[in-house]
Chains A and B, each alone.
Chain A
Amino acid sequence: EDQVTQSPEALRLQEGESSSLNCSYTVSGLRGLFWYRQDPGKGPEFLFTLYSAGEEKEKERLKATLTKKESFLHITAPKPEDSATYLCAVQAATGGGNKLTFGTGTQLKVEL
């Protein structure tokens, strides 16, 4: 069974204080690992897809990296508007019809 574990559950940062969120996974052959951002009362918003170990993608203050067992979402010099829940999900290469298996998320709060 595919599993995703995210840590920490919650993270409080000061504006400008860089940090990383972790996503550990087990999957029967990885098709893709996805990062989403979710604001309160909203649906998840797509950030990145990573397909193979060693791959990295960047968008503004966010950078996602992937190994064979985990992914990190690095946040550089965060701003209050980066406050949200960050969800990690995996998609299996065989069967599953491209469905996503999500972790429980990391709730990030960035304070002035």
Chain B
Amino acid sequence: GAGVSQTPSNKVTEKGKYVELRCDPISGHTALYWYRQSLGQGPEFLIYFQGTGAADDSGLPNDRFFAVRPEGSVSTLKIQRTERGDSAVYLCASMAGPNTEAFFGQGTRLTVV
């Protein structure tokens, strides 16, 4: 596609439920990143994929968060037993390679009620 696509745009879920957020990166981009942005803050790194493998998951806040990228393109961020503190905008970005810029999707706004 022309840009990074994220679905859904908005997700409202009840505390304790499971959610999946999807990211479709720019075609051919091998590097994919997930970030989380709270209101009034800059994006914070969660996890980085190079191809199919998670090369760095040091930003995941706890074991309720997990992400996959089984075929090296689309990625899914999974959150179990959601908490109100998980409410934020989840951003996905992809890069063609090192020393290139990251292109961001429009984000998924997650609200846990």
Chain A residues within CB distance 8 Å of chain B:
4, 31-32, 34, 36, 41-46, 49, 87, 89, 96-105
Contacts and interface: CB of A to CB of B under 8 A. Distances in A.
Interface residues of B, number: 27
Given A43-B91, A87-B42, A89-B42, A100 B102 contact: yes
Nearest to B49: A97
12 contacts: A4-B42, A31-B99, A34-B101, A49-B101, A89-B42, A97-B55, A98-B98, A99-B48, A99-B56, A100-B35, A104-B40, A104-B42
Interface string B92-107: 0101001101111111
A42 B44 CA distance: 16
Interface of B: 4, 31, 33, 35, 40-45, 48, 50, 55-56, 59, 91, 93, 95, 98-99, 101-107
Contacts of A34: 101-102
Nearest to B104: A43
B51 to A, nearest CB: 12
B45 A101 contact: yes
A29 to B, nearest CB: 14
B4 A43 contact: yes
A43 B106 contact: yes
A99 B48 CA distance: 7
Interface of A is mostly: strand
A96 B56 CA distance: 7
A44 B43 contact: yes
A98 B48 contact: yes
A101 B101 CA distance: 13
Contacts of A87: 42-43
A45 B106 contact: no
B61 to A, nearest CB: 15
Nearest to A99: B45
A4 B106 CA distance: 23
B31 A98 contact: yes
Contacts of B48: 97-99
